[in-house]
């Protein structure tokens, strides 16, 4: 947990201060969902360490049971791809092989049309099925910055986008998971992305066609949502595939994404 004093080693602090149920690895914690948030808050207030020094970044989601993504969910992005706004959310999937932490180097060997997509990621904190929109946000544990890295040639080869979406390392996410109490309105967040020094994406989650609460409710009509599940909510305009003559990602490029209150996610391509 990121605190003003440093990064608290929760498992070690729980060994020292209790409760013991917090002395678990991050994947186990996330599968418990928001049930452990109250004891975690208590621990963070009580513990005075230990703090991690120079630890490597890991992904703020661990072993999710589902990674769902929404395509074409920003009005101006739908326009740049020449498509009309969809009548229902366009859902597709990525797999855990795609997860990569803040600061990751993503291997693009043999790939020709690598593109970036700055996105707001939603992490589920409570089991739910057939949720009403009014209760959907209660099932959210928190939010993170994500990059739905995409290879457009593979994406468009068949009717299924899957192949171009879930290449190893194609889901950088982080640096943090920010709990939902710190994000009062997920539809009022500025979202920006820079390729090297060039600002490519600059939008606001207010431009989403389907809001977070609508997406969570929609997915839960057919799928039980479980703690730790991840939903990517689509990208705003400014991706390379919207350009007339795209200058695809090259080895050595970086892409950095910032969303209000969620931090800055940096990825390098090799």
Interface residues toward Zn ion, by CB under 5 A: 117, 148, 235
CB of 209 vs Zn ion, minimal distance in Å: 13
The strand pair at 99-100 and 171-179 is best described as parallel
CB of 148 vs Zn ion, minimal distance in Å: 3
Ranked by CB distance to Zn ion, the top (closest) residue is 148
Nearer to Zn ion, 59 or 147 (CB): 147
Nearer to Zn ion, 9 or 117 (CB): 117
Between CA 151 and CA 164 the distance in angstroms is: 5
CB of 228 vs Zn ion, minimal distance in Å: 20
CB 163 within 8 A of CB 71: no
Nearer to Zn ion, 117 or 229 (CB): 117
Between CA 39 and CA 18 the distance in angstroms is: 9
CB of 119 vs Zn ion, minimal distance in Å: 6
Local structure of 149: helix, strand or coil: coil
Nearer to Zn ion, 155 or 235 (CB): 235
- CA distances from residue 135 to 125, 234, 243 in whole angstroms, order as listed: 13, 21, 39
Nearer to Zn ion, 33 or 71 (CB): 71
Between CA 29 and CA 70 the distance in angstroms is: 26
CB of 203 vs Zn ion, minimal distance in Å: 13
Q: Which among 64, 56, 71, 132 has a CA at the least distance from the CA of 95? A: 64
């Amino acid at each position: 947990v990121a605190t003003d004093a440093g990064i608290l080693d929760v498992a070690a602090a729980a060994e020292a201060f209790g409760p013991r149920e917090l002395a678990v690895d991050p994947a186990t914690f996330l599968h418990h969902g928001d049930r452990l948030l109250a004891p975690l808050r208590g621990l963070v207030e009580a513990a005075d360490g230990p703090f991690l020094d120079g630890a490597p970044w890991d992904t703020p989601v661990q072993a999710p049971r589902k990674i769902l993504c929404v395509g074409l969910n920003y009005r101006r992005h739908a326009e740049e791809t020449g498509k009309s706004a969809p009548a229902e959310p366009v859902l597709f999937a990525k797999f855990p092989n795609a997860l990569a932490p803040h600061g990751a180097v993503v291997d693009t060997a043999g790939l020709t049309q690598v593109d970036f997509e700055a996105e707001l990621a939603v992490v589920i904190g409570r089991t739910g099925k057939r949720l009403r929109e009014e209760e959907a946000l209660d099932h959210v544990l928190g939010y993170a910055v994500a990059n739905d890295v995409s290879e457009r040639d593979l994406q468009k080869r068949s009717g299924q986008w899957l192949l171009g979406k879930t290449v190893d390392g194609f889901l950088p996410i982080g640096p943090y998971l920010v709990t939902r109490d710190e994000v009062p309105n997920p539809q009022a967040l500025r979202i920006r992305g820079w390729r090297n020094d060039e600002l490519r994406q600059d939008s606001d989650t207010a431009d989403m066609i389907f809001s977070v609460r609508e997406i969570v409710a929609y997915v839960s009509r057919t799928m039980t949502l479980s703690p730790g599940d991840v939903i990517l909510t689509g990208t705003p305009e400014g991706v390379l595939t919207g350009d007339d003559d795209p200058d695809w990602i090259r080895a050595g490029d970086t892409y950095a994404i910032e969303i209000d209150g969620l931090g800055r996610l940096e990825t390098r391509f090799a």
